[in-house]
Amino acid sequence: MKFSEVIGQEEVRDRLVKMVSEDRLPHALLFCGPEGCGKLALALAFASYLLGEREDNDVAMLRKLEHPDLHFTYPTIKLPSMGSDHKPVSDDFAKEWHELLKGGPYFDMNQWMETIGAENQQAIITAGESDALLKKLSLKSSQGGYKVSVIWLPERMNIECANKLLKLIEEPPVQTVFLMVSEEPDKLIETIRSRTQRIDIKKIGNEQVRTTLIEKRGISEEAAERISKLANGNWLKALREIEAGGENEQFLEMFIMLMRLAYQRKIKDLKRWSDIVAGYGREKQKRFLNYFLKMMRENFMYNFQRDELVYMTQKEEDFARNFARFVNEGNILAIYDLANVTIRDIGQNANAKIVFFDFALKMIVLLIQKK
């Protein structure tokens, strides 16, 4: 993968290349930044750069990200087919990982979980992973250069793995570089954070998102303008908006249904609504609730009549035109609290039918709150 495939982030790219040219490359880097800014894309492009791929040449192994000196670590799950003593490692899911990478280096944990069929499990990086990585990195470089370890979401390491990796970072094999890509760096143990050089990555500029949508995705200028505003520097969000004919439109339909039924106090219909949402998988239920929070925020801001503060699709805005007045200073905080409690309850495996029916009934009261 080449740097030219990374969306924006020229400043970070130049900084990384300068580290190499000035022979002051740290043995461990920690890529941090908001969702959708391209942390993994930058790490993969830099790994390819270190292993010999440049903008003016092509290395077949690196194009497929299957170079023998490039090693991947990422969260995994325990499959029913695995033995009781087996600690899952990244190699168990190498096929799925490379399949996901074929679609591009911009994806999130939800997409990875769906790829490995683990929607209702917690994915972690086990102690078995650090043992496997030590064996790989102890070997000599096949090409006589760097060995690169890309660790995606190191904050998901269990404590045993983290402690073993710490020793590996403290005494790294010759010409080994660790590139860690973190969504929540504060959850990494302090001793690992202190032994890495942090690379903070900013969100992508809206103009860069807009031009990429037009040039790479064939989006019309009008649609690209709206999507880039909605994405607000998050390329993953821009991709979701392109694909919004699926889940987001379904969520909008369920959001509108909930608001109308709650306003009309149709208890039986709200029960049917809650049964439908309860039928979603747990991760999808949480995505719906996050969408609900987003829509409440946007409808609240819509009341201020400041276009630059509102990030909605045309369909969402069409509904907000008449609905937004029901979201105000008198109820917005209580609505947020209700949604966050519901997210917590779903995360703790509470009965979804009961949780969502209670959620729907409480919305009846909240929608009539005055300023």
Q: pLDDT tens for residues 113-136?
A: 989 987 667 889 998 999 999 999
Answer for the pair 173, 137: CB distance below 8 angstroms, yes or no: yes
Element (H, E) at 109: helix 109-115
Contact (Cβ atoms closer than 8 angstroms) between residue 69 and residue 51: yes
Q: What six digits make up the tokens of 37?
A: 């800014």
Give the residue among 65, 39, 1 at the shortest CA–CA distance from 204: 39
Residue 330 has pLDDT above 70, yes or no: yes
CB-based contacts of 84: which residues, under 8 Å, 6+ apart? none
| Cα–Cα dist 74/152, whole Å | 5
Determine which of 65-74, 140-149, 200-209, 349-358 has the lowest per-residue pLDDT on average. 140-149
Distance of CA 371 to the CA centre of its chain: 36
HSE at residue 189, side-chain half, CA atoms within 13 A, is: 14
Residues 264-288 pLDDT 10s: 999 999 999 999 999 998 888 998 9
Query: How many CA atoms does the CB half-sphere of 75 hold within 13 Å?
Result: 24
- Whose tokens are 């649609």? That residue is 223
pTM of the model: 0.73
